[in-house]
Amino acid sequence: MDHKDLRKAVLEFMASHNTISLATERDQIPHAATVFYVNKRFDIFYLSSPTSRHSQNLARNPKVAGTINEDYHDWLTIKGIQLHGTVEQVGSIMENLNLAKLYIKKFPTVADFLLAPHKLGRVVMEKVAKVKFYRLKPWRIYFINNEVGFGHREELILEDPPY
């Protein structure tokens, strides 16, 4: 597939899926966590607590690997994304209302959680106040598509890795 078609296929796949599994590391101990996301072009935004294990790991080492995929039964229909990138915290929900609205558009059931947590009680409101948005900026994406051929993988380089 040519570069333009590959970019389009990756963006369509990202838009039609909801979770990304992130692989982080600290002191040579790997950790994986799955988060809900929205994307703006290739940048992936998700919510997390700065005290979560993956956020703590990323604060020390912002490099991440991730996968976006489904739970397939038939190996020949597998499609998915593998990526490498860096993650940075971009601030609170209230500091990123446009991201919050984008998130609500994709996940309408979280509207009160993001914009009116007081409706959900004091405990939830206190937790939401600590949640931050993070941006995963991929530098390399691999699009896997076994429908083209078993093990078929195409690479989309977005920028040079920061190492």
CA–CA gap between residue 113 and residue 117 (Å, rounded): 5
Which pLDDT value is given to residue 163?
63
pLDDT digits over 142-151, tens only? 999 998 999 8
Highest mean pLDDT among 27-31, 128-132, 156-160: 27-31
Reported CATH class of domain 3-97+131-153: mainly beta
Residue 119 has pLDDT above 90, yes or no: no
CA–CA gap between residue 36 and residue 18 (Å, rounded): 6
Question: Which residues are registered as beta bridge partners of 80?
Answer: 69, 144
Spell out the domain ranges in the chain.
3-97+131-153
> Which amino acid type is present at position 79?
K
Phi and psi, residue 43, nearest 5°? -75, 135
Give the model's confidence band at 129: pLDDT under 50 very low, under 70 low, under 90 confident, else very high.
confident
Count Cα neighbours of 122 within 13 Å in the Cβ-side half-sphere: 0
Q: What is the mean pLDDT of residues 12-31?
A: 96
